[in-house]
Amino acid sequence: MALLEVNDLAVSYGQIEAVKGVSFSVDEGQVVAIVGANGAGKTTIMNTISGLLRARRGQISFAGQDITHWPTHRIVAAGIVQVAEGRAILANMSVAENLALGLAAAGSRRHEGGPTIATMMERFPILGQRSGLPAGQLSGGEQQMLAIARALLAQPRLLLMDEPSMGLAPLLVKQVFAIIAALKAEGRTILLVEQNALKALKLADYAYVLERGRVALSGTGAELAGNQDVARAYLGGL
Ligand SMILES: Nc1ncnc2c1ncn2[C@@H]1O[C@H](COP(=O)(O)OP(=O)(O)OP(=O)(O)O)[C@@H](O)[C@H]1O
Ligand SMILES: [Mg+2]
């Protein structure tokens, strides 16, 4: 059974229908990518799954429960944790305080032997070195690491990543993808939206190409990455 199942999802902003009947699923332990041009509706889908936006039509189920109309805090409590686009860390709070928030979000899912702030600082040493610094003073790449570390401390069953490499220099993009590959190797379940489409497809078990609010194509990451039409039509220049 799929861990996340999205069925005929439609989402509007007033008169603008941004997502027009999208269906897809994510199995436990899978990395699933959604790629597509700017404005295709990728962030809208992510924000609807995490409860920040409301579905106009369709269902979202998670671990067998219909979460379509759940409030965000309940969705987080169920284990869906989003690493926000634009790295929405709290700039005035210290690195350590941001991490503590992640840990708090684990709530009742927190278990013996789970990650701690200390283990996260081991995994991302730069966060240990900068622990007392306001998060807003970190570099872009460091902020992204903090956002990922904070999400991992919440012990997600499903990690939502919206453009984790956005705005980063090539070397840091590489680092972020290495982190995602490591998370995949740990068996984590990830829904990934990326502008670096080819990189995302190469990493993904399965992927969906979104075009103006609809799924235009889907297939294994390898299939789509090797598809010339996909490359030409959707991955232009990447
Ligand atoms: N708050 C909003 N109010 C009105 N329209 C919006 C709003 N947010 C997004 N839209 C519109 O909805 C559509 C989908 O936007 P969305 O942000 O989901 O795209 P995206 O695929 O994430 O794009 P990008 O790759 O640029 O991040 C776009 O046409 C966008 O202009
Ligand atoms: Mg977006």
- Alpha-helical runs (H) found in the chain: 42-49, 72-78, 95-106, 117-123, 125-129, 140-153, 170-185, 197-203, 221-225, 228-234
**Region of residue 36 (left: phi > 0; alpha: psi -120 to 50; beta: else):** left
Q: Is a pLDDT exceeding 90 seen at residue 95?
A: yes
The residue nearest atom 12 of ligand 1, judged by CA position, is 18
Q: What is the pLDDT of residue 146?
A: 93
Q: Is a pLDDT exceeding 60 seen at residue 238?
A: no
Q: pTM for the complete prediction?
A: 0.93
Average pLDDT over residues 31-51: 95
Average pLDDT over residues 149-153: 94
Rg (CA), the chain: 17
pLDDT digits over 74-87, tens only? 999 999 999 965 56
Which of ligand 1's atoms lies nearest the C-alpha of 36?
21
Which string of b and e fits 45-66 if b means at least 16 CB within 10 Å?
Answer: bbbbbbbebebeebebbbbeee
Q: Is a pLDDT exceeding 60 seen at residue 89?
A: yes
* Residue extent(s) of CATH 3.40.50.300 domains in the chain: 1-79+157-238
Q: Is a pLDDT exceeding 80 seen at residue 153?
A: yes
Q: What is the pLDDT of residue 84?
A: 64
Nearest Cα to Cα of residue 212 among 72, 81, 18: 18
Q: What is the pLDDT of residue 86?
A: 56
Answer yes or no: are the C-beta atoms of 27 and 3 closer than 8 Å.
yes
CA distances from 85 to 88, 125, 186, 207, 213 (A): 7, 23, 23, 19, 19
Share the mean pLDDT of the chain.
Answer: 91
Answer yes or no: are the C-beta atoms of 35 and 235 closer than 8 Å.
yes
**Distance from the alpha carbon of residue 199 to the mean position of ligand 2, in angstroms:** 17
- Percent of the chain scored above 90 by pLDDT? 71
Q: What is the pLDDT of residue 3?
A: 98
The residue nearest atom 27 of ligand 1, judged by CA position, is 38
Taking the C-alpha atoms of residue 220 and residue 226, their distance in angstroms, rounded to an integer, is: 10
- Percent of the chain scored above 70 by pLDDT? 95
pLDDT digits over 172-224, tens only? 899 899 999 999 999 999 999 998 888 999 999 999 999 999 999 999 999 99
Higher pLDDT, 233 or 16: 16
Q: What is the pLDDT of residue 169?
A: 85
Answer yes or no: are the C-beta atoms of 97 and 177 closer than 8 Å.
no
Q: Which ligand is nearest to the CA of 53?
A: 1
Which string of b and e fits 153-183 if b means at least 16 CB within 10 Å?
Answer: bbbbbbbbbbbbbbebeeebbebbbebbeeb
Answer yes or no: are the C-beta atoms of 6 and 58 closer than 8 Å.
yes
Taking the C-alpha atoms of residue 118 and residue 128, their distance in angstroms, rounded to an integer, is: 8
Q: What is the pLDDT of residue 33?
A: 97
The residue nearest atom 26 of ligand 1, judged by CA position, is 38
Q: What is the pLDDT of residue 4?
A: 98
Q: What is the pLDDT of residue 111?
A: 78
Q: Which residues surround ligand 2, an ion (CB under 5 A)?
A: 42-43
Among 17, 19, 44, the mutation site with the greatest number of ligand 1 atoms within 8 A of its Cβ is 44
Q: Is a pLDDT exceeding 90 seen at residue 61?
A: yes
CA atoms in the 13 A half-sphere facing the CB of 223: 10
Which of ligand 1's atoms lies nearest the C-alpha of 14?
4
Higher pLDDT, 21 or 225: 21
Fold adopted by 1-79+157-238 = Rossmann fold (3.40.50)
Name the 3-class secondary structure at 4. strand
